[in-house]
């Protein structure tokens, strides 16, 4: 269906793709893996006509093609579901589905009735339960994902490319997505599936191709490859152990933070948990279980309707985020770009952002001191960059995350809450971040780590709380932690 040979693409200063050759057959789900910056997104965009290749040929559906715009590729039957949704939040579901292919009346006017009816039928045909007239901004992220898929189904899609489709959904929604994708595959659609989650590739895909540093490494049938081989293809070295060895916990681990019966209307009900010094406490559960909301409530960024938060024996239930930071609590949000980093500033400015008074003299920022702090942290956290004045916008997700961790580690002397600390981060950077989390905990900070990735929860946590539908439904001690135990609690299945 799709055949690339010798495709290269350079941007000023970067060779993003270098002689990539790749074959994708119709009726297969073809995984595309590689670390961040390996060229997966560039490749996707080249196939989709956003970029034009500098060299090489792309054959699609039996003929050589050269797109001049995304519209060309779409017409030919290539549909991409990007990691960042390409949806118009203030248009309805039906309007989004038919954008660019509006349903028309005889007079060339848009036929709202037909669009709504057609959308309803299309959604029903694929078992998607959505109201075509609903505004997209009112939908959950998972439902927005379904709208993206429905959009692909409108056209006679021959090649469907999904870039990290499960980054924002979890559990049952992933199962629904997989079911739809398998149905599409069986209908003869070629699917390219990009994901960092190797489990998904083994569960869903037929073949897997690996990119590294813009080069094509190889393609293997999924049935003939194992996790370690895949990782070694991706990073060029074998990562037998993704997680650092378990730490020996100090005997004396005093309680640092005690959360009792905290509620957030509609989100969290009577949640209680305890964080101890030097421990990594995992907070597991499905997306939407109320984990982030609980974190925000502890941090004082979300109003509590009841309950108390006690830090070092002092009641801080009514704290504001500024007071929480002053008290030594840090919160690394899951949305790096939205809430974490000032994308336009450089590394130094980001690292010192929450400790500015320490680098300020006579009301002015001491850039030299700021830079030397930044240089120390860059070395400490092994941030790959040109120096303290590198703009964070140009860095990979993994390095951005390290910068955020560096910033918060400077202020959070007592408690550090990490919300999905490795989202959108590649395998290599993940191990680095795990190492940093370990070091932070070893220094005596109580770490609360929210994660939707089970291996991460199991591999890193000393204790685990599991949330479901706003409630904490279970706590697991070190020797009780297993993927099965967490899943059972998170989904309310009986433990197998």
Partner 1 sequence: MNLTRSKLGFGINRSRAGIIVVVALLAILFIIGIAVSDRFGTSRNLLNIYEQSTGLALVSLGQTLAVLTGGIDLSVGSVISLVSMLTSGLISGDQSMVIPVVIGVLALGLAIGAVNGGVIILTGVHPLIVTLGTGAIIQGIALLYGLGPIGKVPKGFDYFAYGRLPGGISFGATFTMLLFLLTAFLLARTKAGRYIYATGDDPHAATLMGLPTTRIIMLVYMLTGFCSALTGVYLVSRFGVGQPYTGANYTLASITPVVVGGTMLAGGRGGVIGTLLGVYLVSLLNNLLNFLGVSTHLQLVAQGLVIIAAVSVYVEKRRIA
360-361/306-311 β-pairing: unpaired
d(CA 485, CA 496): 8
Q: Which of 76, 78, 91, 77 is nearest to 43 (CA)?
A: 78
Least CB distance to partner 1 at residue 59 (A): 21
Q: Which residue, 94 or 205, has its beta carbon nearer to partner 1?
A: 94
Site for partner 1 in 111-140 (CB under 8 A): 112-113
Stretch that binds partner 1, among 31-39, 192-200, 243-251, 295-303 (CB under 8 A): 295-303
Least CB distance to partner 1 at residue 429 (A): 24
Q: Which residue, 99 or 242, has its beta carbon nearer to partner 1?
A: 99
Q: Which residue, 97 or 485, has its beta carbon nearer to partner 1?
A: 97
Is residue 108 a contact residue for partner 1 (CB under 8 A)?
A: yes
Q: What six digits make up the tokens of 182? A: 């398998």
Task: Give the one residue of 12, 109, 252, 496 binding partner 1; rule: CB under 8 A.
Answer: 109
Stretch that binds partner 1, among 28-36, 67-75, 235-243, 465-473 (CB under 8 A): 67-75
Task: Give the one residue of 76, 91, 217, 345 binding partner 1; rule: CB under 8 A.
Answer: 91
Stretch that binds partner 1, among 13-21, 53-61, 93-101, 255-263 (CB under 8 A): 93-101
Contacts with partner 1 by CB under 8 A: the residue count is 30
Q: Compute CA distances 59 → 5, 45, 211, whole Å.
A: 8, 15, 19
User: Could you tell me if 83 and 167 are in contact, meaning their C-beta atoms sit under 8 angstroms apart?
Assistant: yes
Task: Give the one residue of 28, 35, 95, 279 binding partner 1; rule: CB under 8 A.
Answer: 95
Stretch that binds partner 1, among 1-9, 292-300, 431-439, 458-466 (CB under 8 A): 292-300
E strands, 134-212, in order? 159-163, 190-194, 207-212
The phi, psi pair for 121, rounded to 5°, reads -65, -45
Site for partner 1 in 297-356 (CB under 8 A): 301-302
Least CB distance to partner 1 at residue 495 (A): 30
Is residue 110 a contact residue for partner 1 (CB under 8 A)?
A: yes
Site for partner 1 in 68-87 (CB under 8 A): 69-72, 74, 80, 82, 85-87
Is residue 192 a contact residue for partner 1 (CB under 8 A)?
A: no
Least CB distance to partner 1 at residue 472 (A): 18
DSSP 315: E
29-33/190-194 β-pairing: parallel
Q: Which residue, 287 or 429, has its beta carbon nearer to partner 1?
A: 287
Is residue 90 a contact residue for partner 1 (CB under 8 A)?
A: yes
Is residue 296 a contact residue for partner 1 (CB under 8 A)?
A: yes
Stretch that binds partner 1, among 33-41, 65-73, 462-470, 474-482 (CB under 8 A): 65-73
Q: Which of 303, 270, 266 is nearest to 288 (CA)?
A: 266
Q: Which residue, 115 or 476, has its beta carbon nearer to partner 1?
A: 115
Least CB distance to partner 1 at residue 434 (A): 25
Is residue 50 a contact residue for partner 1 (CB under 8 A)?
A: yes
Is residue 141 a contact residue for partner 1 (CB under 8 A)?
A: no
User: Could you tell me if 10 and 16 are in contact, meaning their C-beta atoms sit under 8 angstroms apart?
Assistant: yes
d(CA 295, CA 291): 6
d(CA 418, CA 438): 13
31 alpha-carbon distance from chain centroid:
17
In 3-state terms, what secondary structure has residue 326?
helix
**Residues across the chain:** 496
Lay out the site mask for partner 1 across 407-436 (x = CB under 8 A, - = otherwise): ------------------------------
The residue written with tokens 């955020």 in the block is 404
Neighbouring C-alpha atoms within 13 Å toward the C-beta of 112: 3
Least CB distance to partner 1 at residue 198 (A): 28
d(CA 20, CA 296): 44
Stretch that binds partner 1, among 106-114, 157-165, 210-218, 304-312 (CB under 8 A): 106-114
User: Could you tell me if 453 and 423 are in contact, meaning their C-beta atoms sit under 8 angstroms apart?
Assistant: no
Q: Which residue, 76 or 488, has its beta carbon nearer to partner 1?
A: 76
Q: Which residue, 110 or 356, has its beta carbon nearer to partner 1?
A: 110
120 sits in which H/E element: helix 112-125
User: Could you tell me if 48 and 223 are in contact, meaning their C-beta atoms sit under 8 angstroms apart?
Assistant: no
241 sits in which H/E element: none
The phi, psi pair for 22, rounded to 5°, reads -160, 140
Least CB distance to partner 1 at residue 110 (A): 5
Q: What six digits make up the tokens of 171? A: 């559990």
Least CB distance to partner 1 at residue 362 (A): 35
268-276/280-285 β-pairing: unpaired
Contact footprint for partner 1 (CB under 8 A): 50, 69-72, 74, 80, 82, 85-92, 95, 99-100, 102, 108-110, 112-113, 292-293, 296, 301-302
């Amino acid at each position: 269906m799709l055949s690339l040979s010798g495709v290269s693409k350079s941007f000023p200063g970067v060779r993003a793709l270098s002689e990539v050759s790749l074959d994708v057959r119709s009726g297969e789900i073809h995984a595309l893996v590689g670390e961040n910056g390996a060229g997966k997104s560039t490749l996707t965009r080249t196939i989709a006509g956003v970029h034009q290749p500098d060299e090489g040929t792309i054959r699609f559906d039996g003929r050589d093609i050269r797109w001049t715009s995304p519209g060309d590729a779409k017409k030919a039957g290539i549909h991409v579901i990007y990691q960042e949704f390409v949806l118009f939040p203030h248009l309805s579901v039906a309007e989004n589905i038919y954008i660019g292919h509006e349903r028309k009346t005889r007079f060339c006017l848009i036929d709202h009735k037909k669009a709504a009816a057609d959308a309803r039928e299309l959604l029903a045909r694929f078992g998607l339960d959505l109201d075509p007239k609903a505004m997209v901004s009112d939908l959950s992220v998972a439902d927005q994902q379904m709208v993206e898929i429905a959009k692909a189904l409108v056209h006679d899609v021959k090649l469907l490319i999904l870039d990290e489709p499960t980054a924002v959904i979890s559990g049952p929604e992933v199962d629904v997505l997989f079911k739809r994708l398998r149905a599409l595959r069986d209908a003869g659609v070629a699917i390219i599936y990009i994901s960092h989650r190797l489990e998904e590739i083994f569960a869903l895909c037929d073949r897997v191709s690996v990119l590294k540093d813009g080069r094509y490494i190889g393609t293997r049938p999924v049935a003939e490859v194992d996790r370690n081989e895949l990782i070694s293809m991706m990073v060029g070295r074998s990562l037998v152990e993704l997680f650092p060895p378990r730490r020996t916990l100090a005997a004396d681990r005093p309680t640092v933070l005690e959360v009792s019966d905290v509620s957030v209307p509609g989100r969290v009900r009577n949640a209680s948990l305890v964080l101890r010094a030097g421990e990594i406490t995992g907070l597991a559960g499905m997306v939407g279980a109320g984990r982030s909301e609980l974190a925000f409530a502890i941090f004082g960024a979300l109003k509590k309707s009841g309950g108390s938060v006690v830090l070092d024996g002092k009641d801080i239930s009514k704290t504001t985020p500024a007071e929480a930071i002053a008290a030594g609590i840090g919160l690394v949000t899951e949305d790096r770009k939205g809430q974490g980093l000032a994308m336009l500033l450089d590394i130094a400015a980001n690292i010192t952002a929450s400790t500015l008074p320490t680098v300020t003299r006579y009301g002015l920022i001491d850039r030299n001191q700021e830079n030397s702090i930044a240089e120390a942290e860059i070395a400490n956290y092994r941030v790959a960059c040109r120096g303290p004045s590198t703009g964070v916008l140009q860095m990979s997700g993994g390095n951005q995350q390290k910068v955020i961790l560096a910033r918060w580690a400077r202020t959070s002397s007592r408690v550090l809450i990490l919300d999905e600390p490795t989202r959108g981060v590649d395998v290599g950077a993940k191990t680095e971040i795990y190492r940093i989390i370990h070091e932070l905990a070893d220094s005596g900070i109580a770490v609360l780590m929210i994660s939707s990735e089970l291996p991460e929860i199991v591999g890193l946590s000393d204790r685990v709380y599991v949330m479901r539908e706003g409630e904490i439904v279970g706590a697991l001690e070190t020797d009780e932690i297993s993927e099965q135990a967490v899943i059972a609690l998170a989904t309310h299945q009986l433990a197998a």
